[in-house]
Structure 1
Amino acid sequence: MRVLVTRPQPDAAATAARLAAAGHEGLVDPMLAVEAIGAARLPDGRFDALALTSVNGARALGARAEWAELRRLPLYTVGWRTAQAAPEGATSRVAGGDGAALAELLRAGLPRGARLLHVCGEDRAVDLGAALADEGIAVELFTLYRAVPAAALSPATIAAARDGRIDVAFHFSPRTAATLAARATEAGLSAAFGQVTHLCFSAKVAAPLEAAGWPVRIAAAPNENALFALLSA
Structure 2
Amino acid sequence: MLVLVTRPESAAHQTAARLEAMGHAALVDPMLRIVPTGAALPQGRFDAVAFTSVNGVKALAAHRDFARLSALPAFAVGPRTAREALEAGFAAVTDCDGDAAALAGRLAADLPAGARVLHPAGEERAADLGALLEGPGVCVTLAVVYAALPANGLSAAARAALGGGTIGAALHFSPRTVKTLLACANAAKLDGALRGMRHLCLSAQVAAVLGACPSVEIADAPNEDALLALL
Question: Counterparts of 1:199 and 1:226 in 2: how far apart (Å)?
Answer: 10
Query: Which whole-Å CA distance do the structure 2 matches of 1:34 and 1:122 have between them?
Result: 11
Q: Give the equivalent residue in structure 1 for 2:81.
A: 82
For 1:135, what is the secondary structure of its paired residue? coil
What is the rounded CA distance, in whole Å, between the counterparts of 1:129 and 1:89 in structure 2? 22
Runs of 5+ unmatched residues, structure 1: none
TM-score normalised to the size of structure 2?
A: 0.95
Residue equivalent to 1:151: 152
With 184-193 and 197-206 compared, the bigger mean Cα shift is at 184-193
1:217 corresponds to? 217
Q: 1:72: how far off? A: 2.4
For 2:105 and 2:99, locate their aligned partners in 1 and report how far apart those are by CA, in whole Å: 10
Deviation at 1:222, TM superposition (A): 1.4
Please give the alpha-carbon distance, in whole angstroms, between the structure 2 residues aligned to 1:50 and 1:10: 22
How far residue 92 of structure 1 moved from its aligned partner, in angstroms, is 0.8
In structure 2, C-alpha distance between the alignment counterparts of 1:88 and 1:55, rounded to whole Å: 14
Count of residue pairs brought into register by the alignment: 229
* Amino acid in structure 2 at the alignment position of 1:67: F
1:203 aligned residue: 204
2:21 corresponds in structure 1 to: 21
Identical residues among aligned pairs (%)? 55
SS of 1:123 mapped into structure 2: coil
2:72 and 2:90 in contact (8 A); partners too: no
Aligned to 1:49: 48
Q: Is the 8 A contact 1:181 1:212 kept in 2?
A: no
2:72 corresponds to which residue? 73
Tell me if the contact between 1:168 and 1:199 (Cα under 8 Å) persists in the aligned partners. yes
Note if contact 1:181-1:208 (Cα within 8 Å) is conserved in structure 2: no
Segments of 5+ residues of structure 2 without an aligned counterpart are none
The CA distance in 2 between the partners of 1:115 and 1:158, in whole Å, is 47
